[in-house]
Structure formats: C-alpha cells, structure tokens
Amino acid sequence: MKNLLITLIVLLLPQFSFAQNPEWIVYTAWNSGIPNNEVLFVSIDNIGNKWIGSANGLTKFIGSFWQTYNTSNSGLPNNNVFPIAIDNDGIIWIGTWGGGLVKYDGTNWTVYNEANSGIPDNIIWSIAIDANNNKWIGTAFGGMAKYNGSNCTVYNTSNSVLRVNYVKAMCIDNSGNLWVGTAGGLAKFDGVDWTLFDSSIYDDVETIAIDNEGNKWIGFALSGLAKFDGINWFYFNSSNSGLLFGSIKTIGIDESNNKWIGTLGGLFKFDDINWDYYYSANSGLLANEITSIAFDSFGNKWIGTWGGGLVTYNQGGVVGIKYNVEEKLPSSYLLSQNYPNPFNPTTKISYSIPEREFVSLKVFDI
C-alpha cells in the first residue's frame, strides 16, 4: 500500500448551524431531513416543493416534511442525483450519474437508459424542458438527446456543431431556442439549424442562464463568467470585476434581474453595477462551494452547497417558511463519498466530526 496523495492537515469546523440570522436558514444532515451535507442540485416545483439532489438520492421538502427517495425505497436506479427539472405537467425529471434519466409522477417511477431507450449515455449532466414539453438531455459522453415522449433524437459532434459530446449546460430562451454550452462557446439550435458562437475562451461551459433582457450568462469551469448579448462577448474575472473566483458552478437570475453566481469560493450577487460577496465568514453559509441555486415565489434563495447542506437566504428575512431548525453537533464521525468519483482529475472528500480538532486525512492507493 502506498501514499497516493499528500497528507492534509486541517482544522475542521463541525458541520452544524450556529445561532442563525433570520435572513439565513441552514439545513444540514444534523438538523433536518437531508441525507447528507453535499447538495448537488435544487429545484422548486409549481406548488413550492423543494427537490434536492445528492449522492444519497432525491429529497423532497415541503413545510416541515422531508422525504428521501433512494435505490432501496423507490424506483431510482442510482443514488447520485444531479439535474432535476419539472415539466409543464408538474412531473419530476431526474438525471443520475450512471442510472440514466428518471421520470417521477408522484406515484410511478420510469427509467430511461441506454438499454431501453435512445438516450446515448447513462450519465446525465443537464436537463431542459421546452414549451412543448420536450425534454432535452445533456450527457457526459454521448452528446445530447431530445425526448418527445415517445422517441429520442440524438445530437453529437457528428451531426451538429457541438465540439465535444460533454454537455453540462443547456437553457431555453423565450423564443424556444435551445442554447447549449460547448467547449469555447455557445451553440444555438432552433429546431432545424445550428449556429455556433465562439468566445475568446476555450474552456468547458459549466452553466448557462438567460436574463430578463435575453442576455446569455455563461459560467466556465476555470475562466470566470461571460455575458453574450447575441453579438458581443463581455468577460468578468478577478482582474476586472468583483468576481474573485474563476470556477463557476451555477448561475441563477432573480425577478429583479440580479445575477447570482455560485463558485468554488462562495456566492456572488451582481446587479450589473455592483458585486456582493457571500461566504462562510460573513454570512450563514457553512461551506463556500456553491453547487446550485433556485428561487421560490417569496423571493427566497435556496442554495445548495458542497459540505454545508442546504441554505435559504432572503435579505431582510426569509419569508413563508419555518426557520426554527434544531441545532446540534454530529453524533459520530462521518466520511462522505468523494466527488467526483472517479477522480476527474481531482476529487473532493467531505467529512464531519463531533468536535473541533486537528485532523489528518490520508488517501492510499490500495
């Protein structure tokens, strides 16, 4: 047995919520029904249910009720749940890492995978749903597919302008055009023709959002944020803006057209002039890696974090939900599944201990 990675010596802060500002509510595995503190995705349906994806399945949260679905108590084929989308009929569509696409109508579970459908890959990175209720599915290695309820049509590097078959980001504009992130830029598909828009950055597109004026906001894996107005590209990074980190994980746009940008180092709000920065030292966030953000009808922001659970934020106070969560320490040691797995080319390992102390973490090649 040999050392694979260097030994890490860290001062670990226990993962629990201290006395909470009513502007911030923190839900962790220690004070709520979420199965772990590594939240991968958050989506909100038409009646206000929150759907939370993690490496331990799918969790539904409404009011004070939590229900987790996993491979042992539901039709989920895989517990790694990342993208979650709600269609025009209120049906939940779930992407898994290795189990394909799952449809859940509140009673029945239906699985679509390489073996039983035209989906080109069982690792689902992104889902978008258009006005005609077509599902657009982005995969890790097979490009993307359109599912119209009965048939799948596959688009990849051989029959489209996609430069790579890794499709992690998709978004649909008000005209019904599909925007797809591809290495170095954006691809637009109007249902017939593809158009490629090159940026000056050749980097993987992690996330796309469209603001109230139709501008496309693109988050890159390493190269910061870009705005595309249909003609021109504008770039934001640590050298020319208040965006301090280049690894963008998620972008959300609220009703006031504010851009909320989740990064490896915290959450940023941009109103087209000013930047606000929220992180563990100045807010209710327990962890700085922001994985997902969604907005409810009250204007609350639901923020998924890697290692810090689920967080709700609203300036001036969270509205419409209870925030008297129980505060307690972990009762035992916990070592969570590394993410991503396998290493790609690095990985993250989250763990919790019942008290503050120095910890030595070693990884071995067995």
Residue 204: CATH number of its domain? 2.130.10.10
**Is 272 within a domain?**
yes
> Can you tell me the mean pLDDT for 290-299?
97
**Is 343 within a domain?**
no
User: What is the C-alpha separation between 195 and 192, in angstroms, rounded?
Assistant: 10
Judge whether residue 4 has pLDDT over 50.
no
**Is 155 within a domain?**
yes
**Is 132 within a domain?**
yes
Q: Which of 215, 272, 275 is nearest to 245 (CA)?
A: 275
**Is 347 within a domain?**
no
pLDDT at 21: 43
**Could you tell me the residue range of the domain that residue 289 belongs to?**
29-295
**Is 314 within a domain?**
no
**Is 313 within a domain?**
no
Q: How confident is the model at residue 305 (pLDDT cuts 50, 70, 90)?
A: very high
**Is 225 within a domain?**
yes
Judge whether residue 20 has pLDDT over 50.
no
Contact 349, 336 (CB under 8 A): yes
Number of domains in the chain: 1
Q: How confident is the model at residue 63 (pLDDT cuts 50, 70, 90)?
A: confident
Mean pLDDT score across all residues of the chain: 88
User: What is the C-alpha separation between 165 and 176, in angstroms, rounded?
Assistant: 22
- pTM for the whole structure: 0.84
Is the peptide bond prior to 340 cis by the omega test (within 30 degrees of 0)? yes
Beta bridge pairs of residue 216: 210, 228
**Lowest pLDDT segment from 87-96, 113-122, 175-184:** 175-184
